[in-house]
Amino acid sequence: MSNLFPTNQSAVDELGARAASLLTNGCEWIRRRKEKVTMVDETIVRRQMSIDFELPPADPLLLSDGVEVHYAPLFFLPKGSDGKFDPVAPLRDPEPHFANFDFRDERGDALTLPARAWNAQVSAAMLAAVIDDAVGRRGVSLDQGQRGRFQRFSRLLAPLDLHKAEARVGELRRGEFQEAEPMAGDLRLLRALDRDDPELSWVLDAVAISSVVMIPLFGMGGRGGIRKLSYDHQISPITGERLQRLRARFGWTGTELWVDSPFIGARNFHFEFEAPAGVEVFDAGMFEVVEGSSPADVSHRLARASGLASRVHLYASGATHLRGAVSWVRLRVRRQAFVGGAVIAAGLVTAVLWAGYLLRQGVKESAPRDLSVLLLLFPSAIGTYVVRPGQHPLTSRMLLWARLLLAACSALPFIAAAAVALTPREDGEFVSASFGGWWLGCAIAASVCLVGLVAAWALPAPELQLRKWERRLGLDIRRANRDRDVVHPEPLLARMRSRRKR
């Protein structure tokens, strides 16, 4: 089957036209599409896709060795960047890379996945076919020269990496091309079609940010079934404003993960996210990608989940019309882990320091020799708790400043003990209670640390918890929390805003 992925242009054009027909004329043939995302570490997620389908009747291709084969555009794979990945850079610079692909059927047998270059060829042919159909629906006839120029435009766009392809589409939509160039008239026509033809608009977006994967299916039995694809997706942490990042390090706002699905098109769509050890999901949602859509736009929201869970499921039924969708999950560290114990430890230190300050006169008169030894127990005990490793790299990152707060709190009893030890004495008795000023400063500092840790324990809160607080306090907490805490990944939202209305 050496010609399983044909490269001659006529065969590629035929496959591109087949893909365009299956994807733009309704997707009733896709019964169910599922996507599961699992965090491997701080910058890598495992994306697992499965599709249950039944192709409509069509004449199969016949390979040279007599095997009948159907082709179906089952998946869209996001594009990456040709540049070197920098895990600490913002999301837009550069875009993620992909690795460890695994493609299997419903029996678990490994299947052959087309190469990236071949996917780009089919994607270009699909875009050219959609442009040809859009021109026909507009009532304009193309000569061979125009058709060839649109094909060249598609073949140049499809292999480009994400940044270059999006820049090219952006230039087209803004009309940034030279009138003197040979394709100027064709680009004006394409720009007008992009504004007026929803099918062409989303295919142009899809080819810019992803590649269609045309899967070979053998024999009549291969026209339906389940196919599963999984791969590692390397991502950059989404960064917001400086104050937002600082709050996230304290654990007051949690962290967010956004998953862009270039194409859904199924009777039912199921998105599943599995949180890593020590982390829980407190908010999740999914919304349709249309011009101007955002997480706060209820009219385009497909699903929403709130609560505390290690696994979340989002569903969209009757989604054959759904082209692109974005799913997001908001994560926080489990309160049963580090944060809960940190609050108890910080509270105990704060209580002891305030009690010592309020009872400083009695301490001066009694002058217990083991007071310093008692205070020195706190730093060693809490220090052991602070340095214990997190359950997951993401957990360690989310708890960075919370650990520093507790570490600072654990150092305060040492300072208080040193103040007691350095206070002048005569015949074993304190001459003054000058250590009281140090104890006051330590008690205030411990209180500040305690407040920070309590905030990390109480925030961020699920939507359900915010509603309870609103009823009890009579405040609009959710609006303030939404405006302050939701991290907007600007590159992703900017990409969504550039897409045409469906």
Question: Do 394 and 331 contact (CB within 8 A), yes or no?
Answer: yes
User: Which of 29-38, 63-72, 477-486 is modeled with the greatest confidence?
Assistant: 29-38
**pLDDT, position 487:** 46
- Nearest Cα to Cα of residue 290 among 500, 494, 491, 76: 500
pLDDT greater than 70 at residue 4: yes
pTM over the 0.85 mark: no
Query: Given the DSSP bridges, would you call strands 30-41 and 44-54 parallel, antiparallel or unpaired?
Result: antiparallel
pLDDT of 428-459, one tens digit each? 565 555 677 788 898 899 899 888 888 888 87
pLDDT tens-digit readout, 268-314: 999 999 988 888 888 888 888 766 555 556 667 788 888 888 899 99
Instruction: Calculate mean pLDDT across residues 145-152.
Output: 88
Q: How many angstroms separate the CA atoms of 301 and 299, rounded?
A: 6
Sheet containing strand 61-62, edge to edge, reads: 61-62, 68-78, 210-218
Q: Which residues, including other chains, have CB under 8 Å from residue 373's CB and lie 6 or more apart?
A: none
> What is the mean pLDDT of the segment spanning 358-384?
59
pLDDT > 90 fraction of the chain, expressed in percent and rounded: 19
Average pLDDT on 202-212 reads: 89
Which helix (H) or strand (E) segment holds residue 49: the answer is strand 44-54
Note if the bond before 379 is cis, omega within 30 degrees. no
Q: Does residue 189 have a pLDDT over 50?
A: yes
Decide if 462 contacts 283 (C-beta within 8 A). Answer: yes
Q: Are 194 and 201 spatial neighbours (Cβ–Cβ below 8 Å)?
A: yes
Residue 490: pLDDT band (50, 70, 90) is: very low
Residue 102, exposed/middle/buried by CB under 10 A (0-12, 13-18, 19+)? middle
| Of 114 and 307, the one with more pLDDT | 114
- Token pair 């309590």 is at which residue? 454
The pLDDT score that the predictor gives to residue 488 is 47
Task: Check whether 104 has a pLDDT greater than 80.
Answer: yes
pLDDT one-digit tens code per residue, 394-405: 777 777 777 888
User: 120 versus 61: which is more confidently predicted?
Assistant: 120
CB atoms near residue 89 (< 10 Å): 12
